[in-house]
């Protein structure tokens, strides 16, 4: 996009000479997760979170995630007691790559309460949406206040964009970085989020917030134990080269079969902006895992893309874990694929992607 104008000037022959100036302006865009990153945010578990009963095993999982991230890029850790977190991490991670920010928190789901970053101008936009505990299911006031405090710390470079009159979680949207957004109706139209706005209203806002050209809505898809009302990052994920990886259920006796089959049909109907079908890669369905007779929302779709690697959740199911790795290797052939045991995280109905948020290159400042 360009802005051009002319200024009349007298020429040597006394006639008017028109000088044309041009200023190139790049349209803002929502980068794909595989866009070059400056680092990742984790919001750390502590005794006042819902992890209290299994805090030690939760910390082990978070330390494993922190170790792999800090080997490769900057890691921003948000926590009420950073000295305590430093003691937990000492000797286990690459400390020189970790930035700490002290702040009161309710829980650990950075994907849904952290900033969403827009690029495309000299100054990035840090979009702050309202987080309300996935439709007021859980306490959220402290987590909803993290972004404003973090922005004042000058750890993040960019312009603050206040959208806290609109409820939106990072796990509910996927971007290909080229003008396409993918989401689910079950989440964005769920109660206690943005009523009385309807689908048309919400789509208008998404187009305005993220400057996208098309929005792909999944009307089907289901994961037992999920309390986000169907976040897209538990079901289907955008990957480079017009690829979508998605959860596939082959067992007709599984409660997920019908909904995930219909989701697969929808994905087959989706097209890129160039009117071409997406390359679809199916991820295996995790064999059922139960806690107190309730099925937990285990999914391989909840992976995190880093600059040089992909971290993906594993569930101590060797065949399925390996198959998921093969699929992600096909989707990201230039990256190392690393498994993290996330059986603990699903006990609170999330997984690896849910507890992380990436920031594009140049955003996190030491």
pLDDT digits (tens, 9 = 90+) for 12-30: 444 444 444 444 456 899 9
How far is Cα 195 from Cα 167, in angstroms, rounded to an integer? 10
**pLDDT for the residue numbered 25:** 54
3-state SS, one letter per residue, for 301-362: CCCEECCCEEEEEECCCHHHHHHHHHHHHHHCCCCEEEEEECCCHHHHCCCCHHHEEEEECC
Reading the block at residue 169, the tokens are: 């979680």
CATH code, domain carrying 179: 3.75.10.10
The reply to whether 7 falls in a domain is no
CA distances to 110, 193, 228, 255 from 168, in Å: 13, 8, 11, 28
CB 45 within 8 A of CB 58: yes
Element (H, E) at 99: strand 98-102
CB 350 within 8 A of CB 50: no
Q: How much is the pTM?
A: 0.92
The reply to whether 287 falls in a domain is yes
| pLDDT at position 11 over 60 | no
The reply to whether 258 falls in a domain is yes
How big is the chain, counted in residues?
366
**pLDDT for the residue numbered 242:** 98
pLDDT, mean over the chain:
94
Element (H, E) at 52: none
Burial of 333 (0-12, 13-18, 19+ CB in 10 A): exposed
The reply to whether 184 falls in a domain is yes
The reply to whether 2 falls in a domain is no
The reply to whether 12 falls in a domain is no
pLDDT digits (tens, 9 = 90+) for 50-106: 999 999 999 999 999 999 999 999 999 999 999 999 999 999 999 999 999 999 999
Q: What is the domain extent for residue 292? A: 29-360
The reply to whether 15 falls in a domain is no
**pLDDT for the residue numbered 3:** 45
The reply to whether 17 falls in a domain is no
Edge-first strand order for the sheet with 180-184 is: 173-175, 180-184, 214-218
pLDDT digits (tens, 9 = 90+) for 254-295: 999 999 999 999 999 999 999 999 999 999 999 999 999 999
- Please give the tally of structural domains in the chain: 1
């Amino acid at each position: 996009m360009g802005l051009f104008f002319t200024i009349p000037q007298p020429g040597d022959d006394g006639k008017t000479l028109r000088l044309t100036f041009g200023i190139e302006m790049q349209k803002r865009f929502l980068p794909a997760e595989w866009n070059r990153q400056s680092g990742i945010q984790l919001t750390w578990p502590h005794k006042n979170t819902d992890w209290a009963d299994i805090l030690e095993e939760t910390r082990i999982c978070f330390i494993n995630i922190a170790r792999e991230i800090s080997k490769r890029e900057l890691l921003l850790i948000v926590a009420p007691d950073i000295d305590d977190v430093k003691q937990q991490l000492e000797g286990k991670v690459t400390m020189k790559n970790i930035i700490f920010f002290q702040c009161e928190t309710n829980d650990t789901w950075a994907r849904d309460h952290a900033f969403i970053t827009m690029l495309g101008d000299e100054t990035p936009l840090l979009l702050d949406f309202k987080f309300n505990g996935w439709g007021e299911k859980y306490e959220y006031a402290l987590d909803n206040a993290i972004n404003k405090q973090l922005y004042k710390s000058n750890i993040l470079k960019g312009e603050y964009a206040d959208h806290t009159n609109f409820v939106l979680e990072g796990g509910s949207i996927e971007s290909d970085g080229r003008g396409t957004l993918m989401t689910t109706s079950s989440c964005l139209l769920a109660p206690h989020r943005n009523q009385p706005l309807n689908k048309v209203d919400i789509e208008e806002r998404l187009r305005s917030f993220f400057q996208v050209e098309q929005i792909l809505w999944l009307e089907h898809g289901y994961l037992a134990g999920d309390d986000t009302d169907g976040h897209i990052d538990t079901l289907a994920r955008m990957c480079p080269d017009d690829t979508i990886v998605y959860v596939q259920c082959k067992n007709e006796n599984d409660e997920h079969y019908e909904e995930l089959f219909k989701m697969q049909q929808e994905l087959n109907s989706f097209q890129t902006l160039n009117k071409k079908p997406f390359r679809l890669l199916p991820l295996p369905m995790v064999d059922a895992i139960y806690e107190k007779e309730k099925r937990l929302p285990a999914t391989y779709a909840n992976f995190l893309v880093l600059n040089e690697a992909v971290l993906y959740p594993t569930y101590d199911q060797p065949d399925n874990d390996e198959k998921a790795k093969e699929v992600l290797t096909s989707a990201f052939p230039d990256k190392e694929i690393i498994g993290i045991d996330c059986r603990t995280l699903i006990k609170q109905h999330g997984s690896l992607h849910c507890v992380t948020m990436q920031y594009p290159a140049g955003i996190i400042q030491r």
